[in-house]
Amino acid sequence: MSANLERFQKDLEKLITTGHRLELAMQQHCMPEEFEGRVREQFGKETDKFINELPSFTGGYQRWYSEVLALLIGQ
């Protein structure tokens, strides 16, 4: 049982992190100029790198949602 709980926690942490990154990707997708301005204030020269490392919201959300649903229903 302990191994299952550890696996669940690890999977959940990964999905939470991915969810936060998808939220940022959604903001970038919907409001690119405003998002880039805010990111530039925080990251300066690293802005382009940060934005390029975000997942694709349109391609990643459905996959993420399906994984979340499977994790929560399967437990």
CA distances from 35 to 22, 40, 51, 60 (A): 13, 8, 9, 19
Tens-digit pLDDT profile for residues 6-32: 999 999 999 999 999 999 999 999 999
Measure the CA–CA gap between 55 and 18, rounded to whole angstroms. Answer: 8
The yes-or-no verdict on residue 54 having pLDDT over 80 is yes
Which tokens in the block code for residue 3? 């191994």
pTM attached to this predicted model: 0.85
